[in-house]
Amino acid sequence: MSRTEAEKPILRVEGLTKRYGSKEVLKRASLAIKRGDLKVLIGPSGGGKSTLLQCINFLVIPEEGRVWLEEREIFHHRKKELYQFRQKVGMIFQDFNLFDHLSALDNVRIGLVRVKRLGKAEARARALQELERVGLKDHIHKYPAELSGGQKQRVSIARALAMDPSVMLLDEPTSALDPELISEVLAVIKDLGAHGMTMLMSTHQIAFASEVASEFIFMEDGQIVETGPPLKILSDADCDRTREFCSKITELYNTSF
Amino acid sequence: MDELHFIWQEVLPALWRGFGVSLQLIIPSSLFGLAIGMSVGALRVFGRPLARRLADLYVLLFRGFPLVVQLFMWYFGLPYLGIYFSPFLASVIGFSLRSGAYQSEYVRGAFLSVKHGQMLAAQALGFSHLRMIWTIILPQAFRRALPGCGNEIIYLIKYSSLAYMITCIELTGEAKIIATETFKYTEIFLIVGAVYLILTSFASWVLHRVEERMRIPGFEYLKA
């Protein structure tokens, strides 16, 4: 890969704006992510992190703004292109959103069979491989109701990985988990990062995030307030509001930087 | 002994004939009703506004009009428009459309109970709208709708007896004919009642088996 190739953003969004009635919940958000980057969205709940992530793959249709994946602009009203695009953008949800009627194996396999149109055997092999990667080889036949929260989230990560995404969006992947189960999911995310997966993640796990992120993006009131390297944002932010948020959250998690 | 002989020679063959006709009414009507219910139920939840309105109107009409009136319309009314159905066909159409209207209500409720997040997850994987409904929503909704849908099928078994009102002579029709001839209403209709009881019991056993077969963790009903 030439240097210029590596410098090109995989995912770029510009001026994303979402309104509900007269209320703007996302205000002209722009960002770009290069290959292998892990950028982390931080900020108070209701600040627009989830909306931004869901607008990027058009689960929520933004009123304004443009999205490019690997230099190609995506137009959400062209359904075929939209479905193709979403295959390339893995999404992890706070509540896992596994398909309740399918075993772990089938949860991972169904997208391969129904969307990617892989053969049965090939889809099964790929699904097994991804489940093994997230450490669930022994649980492939269990249904979501039989899995712990951490296991469910790992299945959902395997499900996203199986589609060979160019970039992954993670929407507070550990917020619905018991404290004891958080680390197993974080370990998987860390491993993804180490293998060069490009990710945009919102989280409140500040200590973990500062360890793995290449950049922090602080959001509040639907706006991107400030971006920068994790240490700078946490200890020496330019914006007052960012400093206030970070001092509270670091105090809360009893960590210092 | 005369009595037994009479039942053996006259009543049972007639009722057997009627029983066959009843089955021919019930089986296709319940299957069509279920298929209509699934489609209309899906339309009422996921359809575009116009399709939704039309589906609601269908349910309003076919759930609102008494079944006998509907059967009369199919059999006696449509000939005015130059459309002729046999009594059997008119009955099957009438039963299927009425049953579909009721089924769609159970199915609609089941569709609404599937967690919204799963739809987001399917869309995020690149599922088209239709494929999402077919592979993710429907299998779950079907499991949740099954007890209600089974209930409607049990009803259908019993209201299939109305077919004789438009001269489709099924079980009740045959019984009525013999009873009128012999004036043995009590005996004959006790037998008929028992036959319906056996039919509904069998149907609920089958439905229960289907529920068992489709049982997966997370979808079982709480046992007392």
What CATH number has the domain bearing residue B142?
Answer: 1.10.3720.10
What pLDDT band is residue B222 in, cutting at 50, 70 and 90?
very low
**pLDDT > 80? residue B3:** no
Same domain, A139 and A217: no
**pLDDT > 80? residue B4:** no
pTM: 0.84
> B221 in a domain, yes or no?
no
Percentage of chain A with pLDDT > 90? 80
Instruction: Give A195-213 as a 3 state SS string.
Output: CCCCEEEECCCHHHHHHHC
Phi, psi (rounded to 5 degrees) for A129: -60, -45
> B224 in a domain, yes or no?
no
User: Among A59, A145, A159, whose Cβ lies nearest the Cβ of B217?
Assistant: A145
**Using the beta-carbon criterion (under 8 Å), do A93 and B219 form an inter-chain contact?**
no
> A170 in a domain, yes or no?
yes
Asked which of A165, A194, A212 is the last residue of a domain, the reply is A165
A98 in contact with chain B, both atoms CB, cutoff 8 A: yes
Taking contacts as CB-CB distances below 8 angstroms, the residues of chain B near A86 are 123-126
Among chain B residues, CA nearest to A81: B126
Q: State the best of B111, B113, B119, B125 to mutate against chain A, taking most chain A CBs within 10 Å.
A: B125
For A137-179, the pLDDT digits (tens) are: 999 999 999 999 999 999 999 999 999 999 999 999 999 998 8
A117 in contact with chain B, both atoms CB, cutoff 8 A: no
**pLDDT > 70? residue A24:** yes
**Using the beta-carbon criterion (under 8 Å), do A97 and B118 form an inter-chain contact?**
yes
Q: How, if at all, do strands A167-171 and A89-92 pair?
A: parallel
For B24-39, the pLDDT digits (tens) are: 999 999 999 999 999 9
Same domain, A56 and A182: yes
pLDDT of residue B5: 81
Asked which of A165, A198, A218 is the last residue of a domain, the reply is A165
pLDDT of residue A222: 93
Asked which of A165, A183, A202 is the last residue of a domain, the reply is A165
Q: State the best of A61, A84, A114, A148 to mutate against chain B, taking most chain B CBs within 10 Å.
A: A114
* Overall number of domains in chain B: 1
For A46-66, the pLDDT digits (tens) are: 899 999 999 999 999 999 999
> A21 in a domain, yes or no?
no
**pLDDT > 70? residue A4:** no
* Overall number of domains in chain A: 2
Task: For residue A18, give how far its alpha carbon lies from the nearest alpha carbon of chain B (Å).
Answer: 18
pLDDT of residue A224: 95
Residue whose C-alpha is closest to residue B101's, from B52, B30, B151, B33: B33
Range of the domain at A105: 100-165
ipTM over 0.85: yes
Same domain, A217 and A247: yes
CA dist B97 → A255, B53, B70, B145 (Å): 66, 17, 9, 18
**pLDDT > 50? residue A135:** yes
**pLDDT > 50? residue B223:** no
Cβ neighbour number for residue B192 with a 10 Å cutoff: 23
> A28 in a domain, yes or no?
no
**pLDDT > 90? residue B93:** yes
